[in-house]
Structure 1
Amino acid sequence: MNTLLIMKSKYEKDILPFIEDFGAFINFILEKDPDLSNKTQVLGKNLCFELNSHLHFQRTAIKASYTQEQYIAIDLFFKLAVKSRLFLIQINNKNKFKLIKTVCLEEFLNLNIYEKYVFLLEVFWTTYDFEEELRHNVFEFIELLNVISKTNSYSKIFKNDVGYGGFFSYYSKITRILRILGICELEFIDSVKSKYDDSIKSIMPTDFGREISKTLITALDYINIEDYIISILKERLNLKNSEEDKAFIEIISMVFEPKLISKTINCNVEINKKGTYILKVLLGKNLWRVLKLSHNTTFHELHLLIQQAFDFDNDHMYAFYTGTSRRTGKELYSANPFGESDEYEELTIEEADIYKGQQFIYLFDFGDMWEFKIQVMDFIENEESTPQIIESKGESPQQYPDWD
């Protein structure tokens, strides 16, 4: 028997609920094999409602009326599972999106609870979209961790004790995530009318939370934010550069007792992305084209092929966005009609990590705003193909209608 599994940390009580809940999430996915929503590729309301009942960190819900994003714990677990590549989002032969387990999952399940915690904390720290979630309040978030690190365990931190009060109301999602991670306990306010009202009365650091917050601040070089923001933060907090030869696990392991953490896993799952992609490009229900292209086709070449397919003149700026809407998705690639791009010289389909079943947006002409929806219909491994139009339906629209 592995004696390391018998050893316990004084911090076990603080991190165990998070590890148990993440385990419940994994078991739910493996047992239910749920379909994900077609539009957003997340768990549906009924599934979230059912899963929520199995968790320690539950959202109060009497019926299935909330989306995955509104269940903070479930949304966190889902993103950690996908970002860590314990699961991949793929589409099956019935055109249903699924969470498919990878070889990394078995390795993860063989870690002890402390190794699991450090692995998941690293995924959170290095992949969570802090800038998107916190807008302009990344500095204030690090300052909140700083306050937690200097406050006595289970002493109450009130709104006036921190430089920014949004973490008690509008940006309380990140505060609740800190609770899920075992960093703090929260005292809640009942009968909150809107997200602008305070929903949290006080923050109470755990024993573990004080120590891990102090350590995370020293690991700013690993956080998923822009380098210039990290530099400003380190200057404000008078921090030295992190030891670049140290892995994240080495830094965080120092919080725990010796010999509790000896390993982690490398989840760089190798996926063959070389081959032929079949894309369906839609302007309407009865107006679409099917394109065939290779993995080394650039997005500028894809742009040219769409222009040809719909008889457009290639005379305006364009951009590609992830997701099903340019308003909620992120810009994937943008350039002028002649292929010049500020961010990417020649981004290829392979480099963009396009997978079967994925949907994204092509926007052409930022004035007239022609918005095309694109879905990856199929992927044929290790097959080469020149960019071509293989199927079409509906007459191409007039790019410049005669308004007279």
Structure 2
Amino acid sequence: MIYRFRVILDNDTDEDIFRDLEIRETDTLEDLHNIITQSFGFDGTEMASFYISNDHWEQGEEISLFDLSDEDSTRLMNETSLDSVIHEAQTKLIYVYDFFSMWTFFVELAEIVEETEGNYYPNLMFVQGQVPDSAPQKLFEADEDDDFDEFEDGLDIDDYDSLDFEENWN
């Protein structure tokens, strides 16, 4: 079977920027990563992850391009087939490319169709919009809160006399 995805760039502009892609259900998330990066004009050399998402686009389990953790529990794109994480009941993924720029994409399964003989997969079906030169700025909760102060505890780090430890502790 062939999965048809719509991949939408999360941006704050009026312009819709998305790509419609086709890929075999047995291909890996790394294959999906490759066609996404190519179709949006990235070189594909930056770190990236998929996150399983619910219907409200809330970020769930991470599936990473590379294993950078000390734990063996990290799922990797090249070991994860599409049909093991995407199906009719689970249709959404969040894709983040380049963790310094935070290019964020909403990946949604649009339909599942029979493979068309003579077509090559993965396949870029449709392109809408041009990718901006830099990633759209993300507004985090702390950015939205005007009263946020990371030093709100009121401690003066230069006032050693009021800190709760002995100067010659060793």
TM-score, with length taken from structure 2? 0.62
- C-alpha distance 392-295 of structure 1, shift in aligned 2 (>3 A): same
1:355 aligned onto 2:88: yes
| Structure with greater helix share of residues | 1
Give unmatched runs, 5+ long, in structure 2.
67-72, 137-170
Q: In structure 2, what is the Cα distance between the partners aligned to 1:286 and 1:310?
A: 13
The Cα offsets for residues 164-192 of structure 1, whole Å up to 9 and x where unpaired, read as xxxxxxxxxxxxxxxxxxxxxxxxxxxxx
Other structure's SS at 1:351 match: helix
Which residue of the partner structure matches residue 75 of structure 2? 343
Q: In structure 2, what is the Cα distance between the partners aligned to 1:388 and 1:370?
A: 22
Structure 2 matches for 1:42-121, cutoff 5 A? none
Aligned with 1:373 (options 70, 88, 106): 106
- The Cα shift of 1:355 comes to 2.5
Other structure's SS at 1:306 match: helix
The Cα offsets for residues 235-258 of structure 1, whole Å up to 9 and x where unpaired, read as xxxxxxxxxxxxxxxxxxxxxxxx
Structure 2 matches for 1:10-29, cutoff 5 A? none
- The Cα shift of 1:315 comes to 2.3
Which residue of the partner structure matches residue 33 of structure 2? 303
Q: In structure 2, what is the Cα distance between the partners aligned to 1:369 and 1:296?
A: 28
- The Cα shift of 1:396 comes to 2.2
Structure 2 matches for 1:5-404, cutoff 5 A? 275-283=1-9, 284=11, 286-323=16-53, 328-336=58-66, 342-344=74-76, 345-355=78-88, 358-381=91-114, 386-399=121-134
Structure 1 residue runs of 4 or more that deviate by more than 6 Å after TM superposition: none
Code of the aligned partner of 1:334: S
| Structure with greater strand share of residues | 2
- The Cα shift of 1:317 comes to 0.9
- C-alpha distance 301-399 of structure 1, shift in aligned 2 (>3 A): farther
Q: In structure 2, what is the Cα distance between the partners aligned to 1:281 and 1:350?
A: 17
**Amino-acid identity (%):** 27
Other structure's SS at 2:83 match: coil
Which residue of the partner structure matches residue 163 of structure 2? none
- The Cα shift of 1:353 comes to 3.7
Q: Cα RMSD (Å) of the superposition? A: 3.1
- Higher normalized contact order (CA 8 Å, seq sep 6+, divided by chain length): 2
